[in-house]
Amino acid sequence: MNANTSRGETPLLLIGSKNYSSWSLRPWLFLRKAGLQFREQLVYFDEPDYQAQIAALSPSRRVPLLIDNGVKIWDSLAICEYAAESLNCGLPKDRTARAQARSVAAEMHSGFATLRNDCPMNVRARNLRVPLTPQLAADNARIDEIWSDCRQAYGVGGGWLFGEFSIADAMFAPVVFRFQSYGAQLGADSQTYMTHALADPLMREWQEAARIEGHPLPRVDQLGA
């Protein structure tokens, strides 16, 4: 893999709905930030042959999936790590900061189950309200803590969690959209970070695509409405 894809076939990124697929947003954003040219194939969740389309390409039968010169990489974090290693980008240069970036990215990858379940990503929605259970409040508070700590310790020189854009920002991008849709109590550092992320041109591009996408999922759209 290289940024100008001068060798072999242009990589293919298989993704799901831009309004609902948080896992798809992460590698899409990271690859775009890395400057990689790739083909994008979108499979909508409401298509009757969705499972058949996914099964034909993805070993995990899930999105996202990156195919690079015949190599298949599935899972959002694995795709981001593959691209970071291949293109030498997306991770802090300082060893300690790099370890922290990987730690918070992995925590996002494996944690925050209540936030995922109670507040599914719905990019085009606004002013949604769901019950703020103790578990949801704890997830929100932990994310606020991560964002604030990273910004204070490593954010000098840029608006992202570690200054420059990194894997950590890609992993938390769906949370930024979730908080825009459902709301959350955030400290000043976290709110500044969220404002910066929402103003990013690629985040805005994804948001606009989600707005005009169609293919509604009523079971998701009814939550918090």
Quickly state the pLDDT bin for 6 (edges 50, 70, 90): very low
Q: In what order do the strands lie in the sheet with 39-42?
A: 39-42, 12-15, 65-68, 71-74
The 10s digit of each residue's pLDDT in 43-53 is: 998 888 988 98
Q: Which residue reads 């200054």 in tokens?
A: 163
Residue range 31-60: mean pLDDT, rounded: 93
Q: Which residue reads 């499972």 in tokens?
A: 51
Quickly state the pLDDT bin for 1 (edges 50, 70, 90): confident
Residue range 144-157: mean pLDDT, rounded: 97
Q: Which secondary-structure segment (H or E) carries 4?
A: none
Residue 193 in this model has a pLDDT that exceeds 60? yes
Residue 7 in this model has a pLDDT that exceeds 60? no
Question: In terms of DSSP bridges, do strands 39-42 and 12-15 run parallel, antiparallel, or are they unpaired?
Answer: parallel
Q: How far apart are CA 197 and CA 201, in angstroms?
A: 9
Q: How far apart are CA 21 and CA 210, in angstroms?
A: 10
pLDDT, mean over the chain: 95
Using alpha carbons, select from 27, 68, 79, 74 the residue that is nearest to residue 55. 74
Residue 79 in this model has a pLDDT that exceeds 80? yes
pLDDT of residue 152: 98
Q: How far apart are CA 51 and CA 38, in angstroms?
A: 23
User: In the chain, what percentage of residues exceed pLDDT 70?
Assistant: 97
Judge if the upstream peptide bond of residue 64 is cis by omega within 30 degrees of 0.
Answer: yes
- Please give the CATH topology (third level) of the domain spanning 95-212: Glutathione S-transferase Yfyf (Class Pi); Chain A, domain 2 (1.20.1050)
- The residues spanned by each domain of the chain are 12-87, 95-212
**Cα dihedral sign for 175, 177, 178, 179?**
positive
Residue 5 in this model has a pLDDT that exceeds 50? no
pLDDT of residue 72: 97
- Please give the CATH topology (third level) of the domain spanning 12-87: Glutaredoxin (3.40.30)
Q: Which residue reads 């578990």 in tokens?
A: 135
Q: How far apart are CA 62 and CA 55, in angstroms?
A: 8
Phi and psi, residue 109, nearest 5°: -60, -40
Residue range 191-208: mean pLDDT, rounded: 98
Burial of 114 (0-12, 13-18, 19+ CB in 10 A): middle
Residue 188 in this model has a pLDDT that exceeds 70? yes
The 10s digit of each residue's pLDDT in 203-212 is: 999 999 999 9
Residue range 153-163: mean pLDDT, rounded: 96
Considering the entire predicted model, what is its pTM?
0.95
